[in-house]
Amino acid sequence: MGILLSSIGWIDFDEKERDRANALMQLFTEQEARDELGMGAIRDSIADHLFPGTSTVQTRLRYMLFVPWIFSRLPRHGNSMEVLDQMRADQLKLRNALVAGRESSGVIGVNAGPGLKRLPASVYWAGLENWGIRLFPGSIDSYAASLHSWPKATSRDHHADDYGANRSAPPLWHPQLPSPPKGLFENASFALSEEEAEFIVDRLNGSNPDSLLTFLAQKGGNARASNIWTHPHVSEFPARMRRLVEHASIFSEAMYGAALQYNLQLSQLRDKEDWVEDYESQIAKWLQDLDLARLKHWSLEEFWDDIRHPAHRVLEPARRFVTDWTDLLKTSGGLKRDKTRGQALVKERERRLKKGQSRFTNQAALSRWKGSSGAYRLQFRWSQASRHLQDLARG
């Protein structure tokens, strides 16, 4: 539904649909988007419960402030194309300032330079809204188009006044956004000030009070873990989050086997002996590590209920594949007693998803396959959330 604001301008009636389409297109370039067996909605439901506002292409936490600082200083005159050009120029200036500040990790566009295509704003735009930092409700293009007619908010002493007494001029960004540092475009770093760190924690608590990301941000510290379920303080997580983490752990391990099986079957079709040997070895290791006792006590009914998320719809074929695959693991000791059934489940699932582009039936698609598709354990954006928490702890 479109949003009409008096004397401000308008936002396209298809704004939400466009945002969803843009988010979907961005997923295709993200690491965990190699979703050959159609587990994406399940994966993202869990990730959005645990670490809302994050994405697998985010790098460093301070971009959550860099973007609103850049957009807040944009001129309010000129047409939308001029504003968009200024947006791009300023984000490239930020890239140069971070390089000048000798930041060695996480600089978006560090290698692309002026040819950078995916700018920080597009990476963090959805997260900024989710965390309640961005109050403007539309897309980046709509922001540029609306800026010249958006009235400036009058100065207020209290947060509530910005939302109450001054309704004719709703703020574009959270009123308590910290001021940008001097020399932002000359020499920048990812180090958060204490005020900035407190603002981030406050926004997380205000927007997603029950998420694991907020709990860990409030707890502070700089605990390291390769997966969220190996976090040293997992026993201290809130009960609901502990259940979700347990679900995530079991689901990741079970579906890792399906992904390995898929890659093994394609390697066999390609007649690549070294690939086949490698995947057979990985499957043997996976079976050795698989905790069948835990899997047998796992309730899929509770799983589907706990991971339900309004932003993601898990279709019945995906549910059925997960059910059939886990049932097979439970009844056949992993895949030890019914390998053929496992092969058939994976093959049929991929064929239904890809149809004419299935690598099992389309020789051209099979020939283009490079030897690996989604052959990893799902992390549910923990690596990005962990990096953000490390940045926050330093602040």
Q: Which of 380, 319, 330 is nearest to 38 (CA)?
A: 319
Residues 6 or more apart whose Cβ sits within 8 Å of residue 233: 219, 221, 223
pLDDT tens for each residue of 58-88: 999 999 999 999 999 998 887 899 999 999 9
Residue 3: the pLDDT is 39
Structure tokens at 352: 């239904």
Residue 167: the pLDDT is 53
Distance from C-alpha of 368 to C-alpha of 354, rounded to nearest angstrom: 15
Per-residue CA distances from 3 to 9, 13, 314 (Å): 10, 8, 29
Residues 6 or more apart whose Cβ sits within 8 Å of residue 276: 264, 267, 268
Strands 9-10 and 4-5, by their bridges, are antiparallel
- Residue 283, classed as helix, strand or coil, is helix
Residue 19: the pLDDT is 47
Distance from C-alpha of 40 to C-alpha of 21, rounded to nearest angstrom: 15
Structure tokens at 312: 């993601």
Distance from C-alpha of 393 to C-alpha of 395, rounded to nearest angstrom: 5
Residue 168: the pLDDT is 57
Residues of the chain with pLDDT under 70: 1-34, 153-169
Distance from C-alpha of 216 to C-alpha of 209, rounded to nearest angstrom: 11
Q: Please say whether the beta carbons of 371 and 267 come within 8 A.
A: yes
Q: Which amino acid is at 86?
A: Q
- Residue 54, classed as helix, strand or coil, is coil
Structure tokens at 293: 């006792």
Distance from C-alpha of 32 to C-alpha of 376, rounded to nearest angstrom: 9
Residues 6 or more apart whose Cβ sits within 8 Å of residue 109: 92, 95, 116, 118, 119
Distance from C-alpha of 258 to C-alpha of 325, rounded to nearest angstrom: 8
pLDDT tens for each residue of 5-20: 333 333 344 444 544 4
Distance from C-alpha of 219 to C-alpha of 9, rounded to nearest angstrom: 42
Give the predicted TM-score (pTM) of the model. Answer: 0.86
Q: In this structure, what are the phi and psi dihedrals at residue 173, rounded to the nearest 5 degrees?
A: -130, 160
Distance from C-alpha of 127 to C-alpha of 316, rounded to nearest angstrom: 29
Distance from C-alpha of 110 to C-alpha of 5, rounded to nearest angstrom: 39
Q: Please say whether the beta carbons of 147 and 36 come within 8 A.
A: no
- Residue 10, classed as helix, strand or coil, is strand
Q: Which of 164, 200, 167, 183 is nearest to 65 (CA)?
A: 200
Structure tokens at 117: 């295509």
Structure tokens at 297: 């006590």
Residue 208: the pLDDT is 97
Structure tokens at 1: 């539904």
Residue 95: the pLDDT is 95
Distance from C-alpha of 321 to C-alpha of 24, rounded to nearest angstrom: 23
Residue 114: the pLDDT is 83
